[in-house]
DNA sequence: ACCATCGTTCCGATGAGCGGGACTCACCCC
DNA sequence: GGGGTGAGTCCCGCTCATCGGAACGATGGT
């Protein structure tokens, strides 16, 4: 009822729980009740009750008087199907690319207006890159994101362009017409480049990974420090890698697990 | 109020949500409303409402008329702190062991009466093993579980012995006194063996991984098909590997992230 | 045309969740 | 010692979101 609207429109108990869980994405480790209260703006007693409930069901775990992600979440996250089949098919190709180039090799999927990295092999100089497996990045400011947007239905792209496009570097494309032109160009060439649009001093290239029906499931990207990486050379490598993954996905057909049950 | 008690004592909305989420651990991919209703025993309309709420907050995602783990869960699972620092420290040592032996190399932590595998490198013949990253296994029927139990406080062990100890093979230790004697022996030797106690035809050895204070954080295990793996030889390798990881953990001290922020 | 099974929607009753506020510690600084 | 600050915990009356039985529409196999 307060005129100021909440973070999201969270009314349900589950919504509040999700708001609390999301605070742990930033990877700050363990958080206390007061810290969560401050960050979420929820009433302290609500945070207290909800967090303890989350501990009871195993989604969080208690470490002293602070709380952190529980192993149940780790367990559930490992079974995320969209990531799973894709990563398994991609890994060998990613290793090859990583060995051959020595640069950062990443696999990402598109979620709303952001990309989520599902696997990363870091290059020699890549230890300091902020991208993490499971982390997010604005789609318009990443070659992986741009290539996935380029092959997305128009309404999805419109959704991205509708919001504000954060400017991460002075080269980030934040102008909708410019971005649309770039996407059209990517659609023609089949590859997207990041020319210091995400991080100053870092460039990269990305190509789409498709399933047997041609639908784009994700993107393979190679990136590295400007000067130490040749985009024209990486261009073909990343295309070949993405095609290889796509072919394996089409052959393996069943994105379903090849694992045997033995329940539990 | 029904005399028959539910699966767990779930009364809260969060509890019901967790019951639903746990159904996805088995890795069956996408589940429909009716399927979830059947498995959980919850009323259909409750399942419907709760699942759609979970989709709204991003914990699940909708694929046609079925539902599956959402990327938010993948993301949260990746930040599970207990697993994270440990895996990062362990990975190089695990790769070495894997290259040197060609057998399955696994890293596990203890949660209640089960182990959770946080990283696995499969050996040549290991494709068919049912253990998965993020999967669980009864602690008493695994060398990794036994070695962690051996160095756990007595009341934790009592909790394990209190319940029923499932018999996975005809060699599984299910007799509390026998198991206690085994744990004492492990405490003396510092290494635990699995002599076809978890899976017929598979043997292995495990050693504890400790932090700087000597507290046991997890266990490193090597396993392989009986006959193709020599326990006496693997014994020393797994001890050395576990010590190496422990040393790196103590040096790296801060189990905290070395990553730079760049929020979101 | 029938039946089975799916997902969806409705709606009255109720109790779980809500949250303001009070409480208890532990700690630090006058 | 006294007073402040900020932590986690607890209480309790109000109320609104949750609950779940039941009805509904869509689908598809026989």
pLDDT tens readout for residues A125-138? 666 678 888 889 99
Shortest CA–C1' contact from A42: which nucleotide? C19
B124 vs A85 pLDDT, higher one: A85
| Range name among A3-12, A45-54, B2-11, B236-245 with the lowest pLDDT average | B2-11
pLDDT tens, position by position, A144-195? 999 999 999 888 888 888 888 999 999 999 999 999 999 999 999 999 999 9
pLDDT recorded at residue A127? 64
Q: What angle do CA B26, A57, B113 make, to 5 degrees?
A: 65
The residue that leads in pLDDT, B72 or A8, is B72
| pLDDT confidence band for A116 (50 / 70 / 90) | very high
| DSSP helix/strand/coil, A224 | strand
**Annotated domain spans of chain A:** 13-76, 80-252
| First CA to last CA distance, chain A | 45
Give the residue ranges of DSSP H helices in chain B. Answer: 13-22, 33-40, 44-57, 71-78, 81-101, 143-150, 154-162, 176-189, 231-252
The pLDDT of residue B108 is 96
Q: Per residue of chain B (264 residues), give pLDDT as tens.
A: 333 333 445 678 888 899 899 989 887 778 889 898 988 888 888 899 899 989 989 899 988 889 999 899 999 988 887 777 898 899 889 999 999 999 999 999 998 889 999 999 987 766 667 888 888 999 999 999 999 999 998 888 888 888 889 999 999 999 999 999 999 999 999 999 999 999 999 999 999 999 888 889 999 999 999 988 999 989 999 999 999 999 998 886 444 333 322 222
* Percent of chain A surpassing pLDDT 90: 47
Contact B216, B190 (CB under 8 A): no
Q: Which fold has domain A13-76?
A: Arc Repressor Mutant, subunit A (1.10.10)
Mutate to test the interface with A, among B57, B64, B166 (most CBs of A within 10 A): B57
Q: Which residue has the tokens 């440990």?
A: B86
- Rounded to an integer, what distance in angstroms lies between the CA atom of residue B250 and that of residue B246? 6
What per-residue confidence (pLDDT) applies to A29? Answer: 79
Q: Which of A14, A50, A130 sits opposite B260 (nearest CB)?
A: A130
Q: Which nucleotides of C are covered by protein (CB under 7 A)?
A: 5-10, 16-22
The Cβ of residue A220 has, within 10 Å, a number of other Cβ atoms equal to 31
Query: CA-to-CA distance for A50 and B14, rounded, in angstroms?
Result: 8
Contact B14 A50 (CB under 8 A): yes
CATH of domain A80-252: 3.30.450.40
Cβ-based neighbour number of residue A46 at 10 Å: 14
State the Cα–Cα distance between residues A106 and A93, nearest whole angstrom.
11
Q: How many CA atoms lie within 13 A of A200 on its CB side?
A: 4
The widest CA-to-CA distance across chain B, in whole angstroms, is 59
Q: Test A58 with B21 for CB contact under 8 angstroms.
A: no
């Amino acid at each position: 009822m307060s005129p100021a609207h909440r973070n999201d429109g969270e009314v349900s108990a589950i919504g509040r729980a999700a708001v609390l869980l999301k605070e742990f994405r930033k990877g700050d480790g363990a958080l206390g009740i007061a810290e969560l209260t401050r960050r979420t703006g929820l009433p302290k007693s609500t945070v207290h009750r909800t967090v303890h409930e989350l501990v009871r069901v195993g989604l969080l775990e208690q470490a002293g008087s602070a709380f952190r992600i529980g192993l149940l979440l780790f367990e559930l996250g490992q079974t995320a199907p969209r990531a799973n089949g894709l990563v398994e098919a991609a890994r060998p190709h990613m290793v090859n690319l990583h060995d051959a180039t020595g640069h950062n090799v990443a696999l990402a999927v598109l979620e709303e207006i952001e990309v989520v990295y599902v696997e990363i092999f870091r290059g020699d100089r890549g230890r300091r890159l902020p991208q993490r497996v499971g982390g997010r990045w604005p789609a318009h400011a990443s070659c992986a994101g741009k290539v996935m947007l380029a092959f997305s239905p128009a309404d999805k792209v419109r959704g991205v362009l509708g919001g504000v496009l954060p400017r991460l570097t002075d080269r980030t494309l934040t102008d909708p017409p410019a971005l649309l032109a770039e996407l059209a160009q990517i659609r023609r060439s089949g590859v997207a480049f990041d020319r210091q649009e995400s991080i100053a001093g870092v460039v990269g290239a990305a190509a789409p990974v498709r399933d047997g029906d041609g639908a784009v499931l994700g993107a393979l990207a190679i990136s590295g420090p400007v000067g130490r990486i040749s985009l024209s050379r990486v261009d073909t490598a990343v295309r070949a890698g993405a095609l290889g993954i796509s072919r394996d996905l089409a052959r393996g057909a069943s994105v379903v697990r090849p694992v045997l049950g033995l329940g539990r």
